[in-house]
Amino acid sequence: MTTILIAVAALLAMAALFGAILGFASEKFRVEGDPIVDQIDAILPQTQCGQCGHPGCRPYAEAIAEGEEHNKCPPGGEQTIQELSDLLGREVLPLDDEHGDASDIKKVAYIREDECIGCTKCIQACPVDAIVGAARLMHTVIVDECTGCDLCVEPCPVDCIDMVEVKPTLQTWGWSRPPGVGNAPARHIPVVNLP
Amino acid sequence: MSLLSLFRPARTESGRKLHDFHGGIHPPQRKTLSSEAPIRPGPLSATLVLPLNMHLGAPALPCVQVGDRVLKGQILAEASGPVSAPVHAPTSGVVRAIEPRPIQHPSGLDALCVVLDSDGEDRWTALTPCPDYRDMPRAELVARIRDAGIAGLGGAGFPTAVKVNVRDSQRIEQLIINAVECEPYITADDRLMRERAEGVIAGIQVLQHLVQPMETLVGIEDNKPEAIAAMRAAAAGTGIEIVTVPTKYPSGGEKQLIRVLTGKEVRSGGLPADVGVVCHNTGTAWALHRLVTTGEPLISRITTLTGTAFAEPGNVEVLIGTPVADLLAFGGVPQPHTGRLIMGGPMMGFSIENPLAPVVKTTNCIIAAPLSELPEPEPEQPCIRCGACAEVCPADLLPQQLYWYSKASEFDRAQHYNLMDCIECGACAYVCPSHIPLVQYYRYAKGAIRQQAAEHQKADRARERFEARTARIEREKAEKEAKRQARLEANRQKSSPATSVAAATPAADPVADLKKAVGEASSAYKAAVKIAKEAEEQGADNAADLRAEADQLKARADELKIALRDAKANAPAAVAPTAQAAPADPVADLKKAVGEASSAYKAAVKAAKEAEEQGADNAADLRAEADQLKARADELKIALRDAKASAPAPTRPAPASPAPAAPPAVSLSTAPESPTAQANAEDEASAEAERAKRAQRMKALKTAFNMSHKQWKEASAALERAERDGLPDVDTHRARVDKLKKKADLAKAQLNELVEAAKADMKASTGTDLKTLKLQAARAESTVREKTAALATAREAGDEERINVLQQELAAAEQQALETARTLKQAVAEQGLSDGDDA
Amino acid sequence: MALLHVTSPHATSSQRTGALMRQVMLATLPGLAVLTWLFGWGTVINVIWAMLIAAAAEAAVLKARGKPVGLYLRDNSALVTAVLLALAIPPTAPWWLTLIGVGSAIILAKQLYGGLGMNPFNPAMVGYVLLLISFPVEMTRWLAPGAAPDLATSWQLFLDRYPGADALTGATPLDSFRTWAGDASALAAEPILQGRFAGLGWEWVNVAFLAGGLYLLWRRIITWHIPVAFLAGLGLCALPFWLYDPVRFASPLFHLFSGAAMFGAFFIATDPVSAATSRWGRLIYAALIGVLIWVIRSLGGYPDAVAFAVLLLNLAAPTIDYYTQPRTYGHDKPKRGTG
C-alpha cells in the first residue's frame, strides 16, 4: 500500500515540478507575435487585392495560419500555393477559381487621363496609395507602385481605367528557359527586307 | 588546383611567375581569317544610329533636337549620372530622329537612339587636344575623358573615367592592359597593336599617369607573335612590361587574367580595385591616346569583320553607329545572309536579331558565318554527368549541378552552387557532348533570380505602403473623432459661460473637458510621431507626409493647450468680480508659463537631437523651433522677473491682466532692433561682417515677428472674449490688437526684405539660388538612398556585374550628396538663411 | 530560313555523346579479342546478342514512355551497357542468362529511373549482380584459359543445348587463390596461378583492357582520376598485407591483373552517370572502390568484387559529392551540401 502511495506521490511531485518548469518556460520564452504569419505574409504577393476575401495580404496570412485553405490567392498562382504548401506541410491544392483566375501576365492600371473626371474614387480604392491626384483634377497611376490588383477599375464612374500588360524592357528582359531535351535551342529569325 | 598545372611552364621569359586558372578550353582559333589584312577605314553610312545606352550605367540624355545640324565630334547626348558616358556625332549631318530603334541586344528589343543623317562632308567640330596632360589637374583630365565618352572597348563598356578615378584610399599595385583577345575569330586588338603599338603605349602612359600603379602589365596571348614584337619594341624603356600568356580560353576574362598575371583573386562580388588591380583594354588605351593628341572623342573603333561569308574579311576602323547591314555590304557578304550573324566573338557574342542594329562602343567583332561554318545547334540530349563541364569551368563551378537546378527552377540551390559567379564564358557548353545549351540555362536562372528579387522588393514596398495607408486611415478616423469631441466641447463651453453669468455654475467643467481634449490631442500627436519615426527608419516614401501630419496634430494640441490656458484664465476672471482675485495670480500664472515654455523647449531640443541623429530632413526645422521656444521661455522669464518686481508695487486691478505676459514681452521683442541698426551703422567695412550681421538681425526679426504674431493672436482671442462677454475693456483690447498687428506686419516686412536681399546676394555670389541648391541636395540624397537600396537588392541577387556598377555609382552619388550638402550649408550659413525662409 | 537566334557559345567542340559511347565500345575490342582467344567465341556471341536485346528493350521502354526513340537510341548508351555486361558474364552463358541480365539492366536499372543520366546505379553492374545472385552456377562457369571451344560448341552452349556444360568449367585465378590461400605448396601447384606476373591467361585479359583504357584516356573520353585512384586504392591496400604474409595475401600485381580489375577501373567505375562528379569526389569514390575490392576478394565470400564495390560506392556517391565541392573562384572556401 505504502509503495503505491509513494509511487503516486512521486508521480504527483514530478508532475507538479515539470508543470512548473513548463509553465515557467512558456512565460519566459514566449514568442512575441506569430512568426508563421510573417512567413506566410512574406510568401503572399502583396497585391492587397482582396480576391481571397480578406482585406489585404496580412489578414489572409493570419487566416491561413488559423487553418484557412491556402489556395485562394490568384495573383500568387501555383507558385505561391506550392511555397505555402512547403512551408505549412499541407497538401498542394489547385487554385480555388472561385476567387479568380491566375494569370502569369503582369498588369498595371492605366488611367486614360483625358477621360478622368477627378472623382478620387480610385484613389480611395487603391490599397497601396499608388494613384495620385486631387478632387476635380486628373489622376495618374504610379506604375512602379501599382500591384495590378484591379481594385480601382470597378469604382471608376467613367470607366477610364484599363489594366495594361507590362511589356518587358531592356532592364527586365531575360533569357527564356531552353526548350529541353530533344529540342535545339535555336530560333529562326525571319528574313528582314533591308531598306 | 589541377595536378597537371604543376608541370606547366610557370615563368615568362622576363622572369615573371605566371599563374594558372582552373579549366579553360582550346577552341580552333580561326584568327588568320582576318588577322593578315591591314586595318581599313570603314564605310560612311548614310544614316548612323547611336543608342543612348551603349555603355554600362545610366543611358545618356539627348541634348540635341530633331533637325539640328551637328558637326563630327559634337556631343549628341550627355552623361546622365556618375556612371554614364556621353554620345558624340561620328560624322557631320542632321539629327533625323530621336526614337526607339533596334539595338545591339540579344532580346531584339528597341531602345532610344539618336538617328543621324550624314551629310557626307564629315566636317569636324573644333577639338582641343591636351598633349600636356601631365601638367593638368587630375580631375580635369578625368573630366576630359568623361566628356569624350570613352568606355571600356573590350567587354561591358564600363565608363573609363569612372574606372581611372581611383579613390585615394585604394592603392593600385598593377595596371593590367588586357590585350589577350582569347576568343576565336577576333583580331581587332591584334591588328591594332601590330599597326599602332606606339599609340597604344602612349595611351597606356595616360592610364599610368592617372592610376599611378606600381607596375604596368600588358597581357598578350602567345598566338600573336607579331603584336608581341611590336608592343615590345614600342614599350622599350617605358617600364611597361609586355607579358606573354599561354593561349587558353578564357584567359582574357578580367578575373582570369588578373589571376594569371598576379595570382590574385578578385573576391566574389568585389571589384579588381579591391585587390589593387585595374584592368583596361587595348582599344581603350588607343582611344585615350587619340583624345590627348587630337582631342577626338570616342566616335570610331576597330572592329573585326570575319566569318567565311565575308568576301573581304579583315579589321575595319568603323564609325560608331554604323548599321551592321552596311558593314555586311562593305565586307562583301552575299545578300541575304543566312546562318549566323554574331556581334562579338563565337564564345560570348550574341545573335543579331536585326541587321540594322548599329555598331557600338563595345562591338569588337562581327561574324557572318554560313551554316557550313557554324551549323545549327543540335537538339539537346540528356546530361550523362560526364563532368567535362566541370573540368573546363574557369570559375571552378559545378556546371552540371547548376544545370540541374536551373532546369528545375530551383534557384536557391543554384545560388548555393554559386551560379552568380558564372562568367558565362561558354566553355562548359562548348565541351558538352550532349549539346546542352548550358549558358542559356544559367542566363535564364540568373534573370529569374533577378526578377524574383525585384518582385520581392516590390512586394515589400507594397506591404509597407499598404500598412502605412491602413495606419493613416485609422489615424484620420481617430483625428476626426477627436475633432468631433472638441467641437462638442466647444459648443458646450459656448453655452456654459452664458449660464454661468446668471447662475454661477461651476466654471471648472469646461476646463476639465479641455484638459481631456488636450490630453487626447497630445497622445494622438505622440502616436503620429511614433508612426512617422518608424516610417523614417524604414525609409518609407511617405515619412515626410507622416511627419507633416504629426506636426499638424502638434499644432492642434498647442491650440487646445492655449484654449485651455485661456479657459483657465477666464475662469478666475469670470468669478473675479465676486471673489476678489488675488494680486499674486499673474505671477503664479507667469511662473507656470515659464515652466511650460522651458519644458517645451527641452522637449523640442530632444526631438531635434533625435531627428539629427536619424538624419531626418526636418532636423533643421526642429532645431529652429527649439530656438524659438527658447526665446519664448527667456522672454517669459524676464516678464516673470518684471512681474515679480512690480507685484509689491501699488496693486494693479486684477482684471486688467488677462494676458499678463504681453506688455513686457512687447517691449522686449522690439529691443533687438535698435542695437542691430546701430551695429549696421557702425560697421559696414566688410561684406562678410554685414552678412553675419544680417543673419543675426534676421534671427532677431524672426523672433520679433513670431512673438508679436503670437501676441497678436492671443490679444485677438482676448478681444473676442471681451466682446462676447461684454466686458468693459473692449476698446483697450482692440487698441492692443491693432498695435500688435502693426508690429507683426512691420517685422514681417522687414524680415522679408532681409531674406530677399540675402537671396539676391547669394544668387549673385554662387549663381544659383537657395531653392535650387536645396533641390539639388535633396535629389542627391535621394539618389544615394535609391542606390543603396538597389545595391542591397543586387547583393541579395548576387548579380556581380550590377553590384560593380552600383558600387561605383553609389560612391559617386555619396560624393555628390556630400558636396551639395556642404555647399548648401555654407550658403545658408553665409547668408543667415535657414530652412523655411524661402517658403 | 534566314538568321539563327542562338545563345552563346556559337561554336561547340566535336564531341558527341553517341560518338563517346562508340569510342568506349571500340576500346573494349582488345579485351574482347583476348577473351575470344582464350575462351572461344562465346563472348562475341554474347556481346552481339546483348546489343540486340539492349536496343530492343530501350526502344520498347522509350516508346512506352512516349519519348522520341530515335534521339535517345542515337546516344548509344544502351549498347555500351550491353557490351559491358556481356563482357562480364562467362562465355559459356546460355542465351536466357544474357536476356535476363541485359533486360533488367536496361529496364530496371536505367529506364525505370528516368533513362540516361538519371540512374543512380551502374546498369551493367546491377544486371551482373542480379545474375550472380540468381544464377550462381551459370555465372561462375568459366573455362580454363587456352582450352577455347570451337564456334559450334560455343553456339551450342549459347543455345543451352550442350550436354556436358558443367564439365567444361575451370577455376579462375582468383578462385584458386581463395581456395588455397595460406598453403604455399598448393598455390605453387595450381597451374592457373603460374602466369608471367599474375593469373594464367587472365593477366593478358587485363593487359588488353588496360590498353583499351589508355586509349580512352588518350582520346580524353575519360579523365585519369577514377582509374588511377581505383588501381592505387586496390594496389596500395594489397601491398602491406602481401609484404606481411605473401602466402595468405596475394601480391598487388596479382590483384591488379586478375579478374575484372582493369575492366572495372577503366570501363565500369568510370561510368559518369553513377559516379561522383567533383574532382576530389571522383578520387575518393574510385579509391574506395579499390579498397573495397581488396577487402571482398581477400576477406569476403566472393572471389571477385568489382560489381559489389561499384554498386556500394554508387550509393555513396551523392554523399561524397556533398563534401567535395570545389572552391569557386573568388570564394574563401568550398561550399558544402546541396543548398
- Please determine, for residue B834, whether its predicted confidence score (pLDDT) is greater than 90: no
| Percent of chain B whose predicted confidence (pLDDT) is above 90 | 36
Are C188 and C319 part of one and the same domain?
A: yes
Neighbours of A137 (CB within 10 A): 12
The Cα B267–Cα B256 span in angstroms is: 12
Are C178 and C166 part of one and the same domain?
A: no
Quick check: C70 contacting B, CB < 8 Å? Answer: no
The Cα B20–Cα B2 span in angstroms is: 9
Could you say which of A58, A145, A184 has the minimum Cβ distance to residue B377? A184
Asked if the structure places residue C4 within a domain, the reply is no
Q: Which residue has the higher pLDDT, A15 or B678?
A: A15
- Please determine, for residue B689, whether its predicted confidence score (pLDDT) is greater than 90: no
Min Cα distance C149 → chain A (Å) is 46
- Please determine, for residue B573, whether its predicted confidence score (pLDDT) is greater than 60: no
In the three-class reduction of DSSP (H, G, I as helix; E, B as strand; rest coil), residue B220 is classed as strand
Asked if the structure places residue C3 within a domain, the reply is no
Q: Tell me, letter by letter, the H, E, C secondary structure of C120-165.
A: CCCHHHHHHHHHHHHCHHHHCCCECCCCCCCHHHHHHHHCCCCCCH
Are C319 and C182 part of one and the same domain?
A: yes
Identify from A177, A188, A192 which residue to disrupt to test chain C contact, counting C C-beta atoms within 10 A and taking the largest count: A188
Give the mean model confidence (pLDDT) for residues B303-314: 92
Question: Which pairing describes strands B174-178 and B277-281: parallel, antiparallel, or unpaired?
Answer: parallel
Q: What is the pLDDT of residues B629-643, one digit of tens each?
A: 777 777 777 776 766
Least confident of B39-53, B644-658, B787-801, B812-826: B644-658
Residue B677's pLDDT is 46
Least confident of A161-170, B117-126, C292-301: A161-170
Question: What CA–CA distances, in Å, run from C2 to A192, B353, B369, B372, B391?
Answer: 9, 11, 12, 14, 35
Q: Which residue type sits at A143?
A: V
Quick check: B827 contacting C, CB < 8 Å? Answer: no
Least confident of A103-112, B157-166, C29-38: A103-112
Q: Which of B175, B127, B181 is nearest to B280 (CA)?
A: B175
Chains that touch B (3 or more CB pairs under 8 A): A, C
Residues in chain B with CB shorter than 8 Å from the CB of C13 are 25, 27, 430-431
Domain boundary among the residues C136, C170, C204 is at: C170
Question: What CA–CA distances, in Å, run from C295 to B795, C136, C287?
Answer: 51, 21, 12
Min Cα distance C227 → chain B (Å) is 15
Which grid coordinates belong to C322?
556533398
Residue A42's pLDDT is 85
Cell 472561385, residue located:
A98
Listed by number, the residues of chain B in 234-293 with a beta carbon closer than 8 Å to a beta carbon of chain C are 255, 259, 265-270
Round the CA-based radius of gyration of chain B to a whole number and report it.
38
- Please determine, for residue B653, whether its predicted confidence score (pLDDT) is greater than 70: no
Could you say which of B369, B378, B426 has the minimum Cβ distance to residue C9? B426
Question: Which pairing describes strands B277-281 and B240-245: parallel, antiparallel, or unpaired?
Answer: unpaired
Alpha carbon distance, N-terminus to C-terminus of chain B: 67
Residue B582's pLDDT is 43
The Cα C187–Cα C171 span in angstroms is: 13
Q: What is the pLDDT of residues B316-357, one digit of tens each?
A: 999 999 999 999 999 988 887 888 899 999 999 988 888 889
Are C61 and C112 part of one and the same domain?
A: yes
Give the mean model confidence (pLDDT) for residues C147-170: 82
Are C251 and C282 part of one and the same domain?
A: yes
* Helix, strand counts (H, E) of chain A: 5, 5
Question: Which of B117-131, B786-800, B802-816, C41-55 tops mean pLDDT?
Answer: C41-55
Q: Which of B482, B470, B455, B492 is nearest to B553 (CA)?
A: B482
Are C19 and C99 part of one and the same domain?
A: yes
**CB-based contacts of A4, cutoff 8 Å, min separation 6:** none
CB–CB of A161/A153 below 8 Å? yes
The Cα A82–Cα A97 span in angstroms is: 16
Inter-chain contact C5–A186, Cβ cutoff 8 Å?
yes
Residue C194's pLDDT is 82
Give the mean model confidence (pLDDT) for residues A125-131: 88
The Cα B446–Cα B397 span in angstroms is: 15
Quick check: B789 contacting A, CB < 8 Å? Answer: no
Question: What CA–CA distances, in Å, run from B343 to B276, B286, B357, B383, B611?
Answer: 32, 21, 10, 29, 54
Provide the pLDDT confidence category of residue B684 given band limits of 50, 70 and 90. Answer: very low
Residue C71's pLDDT is 83
Question: Which pairing describes strands B47-51 and B69-70: parallel, antiparallel, or unpaired?
Answer: unpaired
Count B/C contacts: CB-CB distance under 8 Å: 180
Domain boundary among the residues C135, C170, C205 is at: C170
Quick check: B105 contacting A, CB < 8 Å? Answer: yes
Quick check: A189 contacting C, CB < 8 Å? Answer: yes
Q: What is the pLDDT of residues B127-152, one digit of tens each?
A: 888 888 899 898 899 999 999 999 98
Give the mean model confidence (pLDDT) for residues B500-514: 53
Residue B764's pLDDT is 63
The Cα B292–Cα B131 span in angstroms is: 5
Q: Tell me, letter by letter, the H, E, C secondary structure of A61-128.
A: HHHHHCCCCCCCCCCCHHHHHHHHHHHHCCCCCCCCHHHCCCCCCCEEEEECCCCCCCCCHHHHHCCC
The Cα B682–Cα B689 span in angstroms is: 11
Domain count within chain C: 2
- Please determine, for residue B611, whether its predicted confidence score (pLDDT) is greater than 90: no
Are C203 and C61 part of one and the same domain?
A: no
Q: Which residue has the higher pLDDT, B573 or B206?
A: B206
The Cα B286–Cα B280 span in angstroms is: 11
Could you say which of B267, B377, B382 has the minimum Cβ distance to residue C117? B382
Question: What CA–CA distances, in Å, run from B200 to B39, B146, B158, B302, B335?
Answer: 15, 19, 19, 13, 36
Inter-chain contact A186–C71, Cβ cutoff 8 Å?
no
The Cα B146–Cα B808 span in angstroms is: 14
CB–CB of C227/C263 below 8 Å? no
Structural domains present in chain A: 35-99 (1.10.15.40), 105-168 (3.30.70.20)
- Please determine, for residue B576, whether its predicted confidence score (pLDDT) is greater than 60: no
Instruction: Report the half-sphere exposure of B738 (CA within 13 A, side-chain side).
Output: 6
The Cα A88–Cα B770 span in angstroms is: 57
Asked if the structure places residue C10 within a domain, the reply is no
Residue B712's pLDDT is 75
* Virtual torsion, Cα B444, C324, C216, C254, nearest 10 deg: -160
Residue B651's pLDDT is 41
Identify from B348, B351, B380, B412 which residue to disrupt to test chain A contact, counting A C-beta atoms within 10 A and taking the largest count: B380
Which grid coordinates belong to B549?
501630419
Provide the pLDDT confidence category of residue C196 given band limits of 50, 70 and 90. Answer: confident
Min Cα distance B638 → chain A (Å) is 48
**CB-based contacts of B798, cutoff 8 Å, min separation 6:** B268, B269, B415, B419, B420, B421, B449
Give the mean model confidence (pLDDT) for residues B504-516: 58
The Cα C165–Cα C42 span in angstroms is: 13
Least confident of A147-151, B28-32, B393-397: A147-151
Domain span holding position C92: 15-170
Are C193 and C339 part of one and the same domain?
A: yes
Cell 536499372, residue located:
C109
Inter-chain contact B441–A169, Cβ cutoff 8 Å?
no
CB–CB of C200/C21 below 8 Å? no
Provide the pLDDT confidence category of residue B581 given band limits of 50, 70 and 90. Answer: very low
Domain boundary among the residues C152, C170, C188 is at: C170
Quick check: B59 contacting A, CB < 8 Å? Answer: no
Residue B520's pLDDT is 73
Give the mean model confidence (pLDDT) for residues A135-146: 84
Peptide bond into B728 cis (omega under 30): no
Q: What is the pLDDT of residues C231-277, one digit of tens each?
A: 999 999 999 999 999 888 999 999 999 989 999 999 999 999 999 98
Chains that touch A (3 or more CB pairs under 8 A): B, C
**Is this prediction's pTM over 0.80?**
no
The Cα A162–Cα A111 span in angstroms is: 6
- Please determine, for residue B242, whether its predicted confidence score (pLDDT) is greater than 60: yes
Average pLDDT, chain C: 90
Q: Which residue type sits at B568?
A: K
Residue B663's pLDDT is 39
The Cα B627–Cα C154 span in angstroms is: 112
Are C129 and C206 part of one and the same domain?
A: no
Residue C235's pLDDT is 95
Inter-chain contact B451–A174, Cβ cutoff 8 Å?
yes
Give the mean model confidence (pLDDT) for residues C18-26: 92
Give the mean model confidence (pLDDT) for residues C200-215: 94
Min Cα distance A163 → chain C (Å) is 32
Min Cα distance C68 → chain A (Å) is 8
Q: Which residue has the higher pLDDT, B741 or B91?
A: B91
CB–CB of A122/A155 below 8 Å? yes
Residues in chain C with CB shorter than 8 Å from the CB of B20 are none
Residue B620's pLDDT is 66
* Virtual torsion, Cα B497, B499, B502, B503, nearest 10 deg: -110
Give the mean model confidence (pLDDT) for residues B167-171: 76
Are C242 and C140 part of one and the same domain?
A: no
Instruction: Report the half-sphere exposure of C309 (CA within 13 A, side-chain side).
Output: 28
The Cα C96–Cα C94 span in angstroms is: 6
Inter-chain contact B348–C9, Cβ cutoff 8 Å?
yes
Provide the pLDDT confidence category of residue B771 given band limits of 50, 70 and 90. Answer: low
Q: Which residue has the higher pLDDT, C176 or B778?
A: C176
Q: What is the pLDDT of residues C101-111, one digit of tens each?
A: 999 999 999 99
Quick check: B409 contacting A, CB < 8 Å? Answer: yes
- Please determine, for residue C142, whether its predicted confidence score (pLDDT) is greater than 70: yes
Could you say which of C2, C10, C117 has the minimum Cβ distance to residue B384? C117
Asked if the structure places residue C163 within a domain, the reply is yes
Buried-exposed string B170-185: b where 16+ CB fall within 10 A, e elsewhere = eebebbbbbbbbbbbb
Q: Which of A152, A174, A154, A74 is nearest to A108 (CA)?
A: A152
Q: Which residue has the higher pLDDT, C252 or B832?
A: C252
| Percent of chain A whose predicted confidence (pLDDT) is above 90 | 11
Quick check: B109 contacting A, CB < 8 Å? Answer: yes
Residue B669's pLDDT is 39
E-state strands within B496-636: none
Q: Which of B316, B431, B310 is nearest to B373 (CA)?
A: B310
Average pLDDT, chain B: 80
Residues in chain A with CB shorter than 8 Å from the CB of C17 are none
Cell 558538352, residue located:
B432
Are C149 and C194 part of one and the same domain?
A: no
Residue B617's pLDDT is 60
**CB-based contacts of B94, cutoff 8 Å, min separation 6:** B67, B68, B69, B70, B116, B117, B119
The Cα B677–Cα B699 span in angstroms is: 14
Residue A190's pLDDT is 65
Peptide bond into C227 cis (omega under 30): no
Asked if the structure places residue C244 within a domain, the reply is yes
Instruction: State whether the Cα torsion A150-A154-A156-A162 is positive or negative.
Output: positive
- Please determine, for residue B508, whether its predicted confidence score (pLDDT) is greater than 50: no
Inter-chain contact C335–B348, Cβ cutoff 8 Å?
no
Are C211 and C263 part of one and the same domain?
A: yes
- Please determine, for residue C328, whether its predicted confidence score (pLDDT) is greater than 70: yes
Q: Which residue has the higher pLDDT, A32 or B660?
A: A32
What chain C residue is nearest to B267 in terms of C-alpha separation? C330
Q: Which residues pair with B243 in a beta bridge?
A: B219
Asked if the structure places residue C294 within a domain, the reply is yes
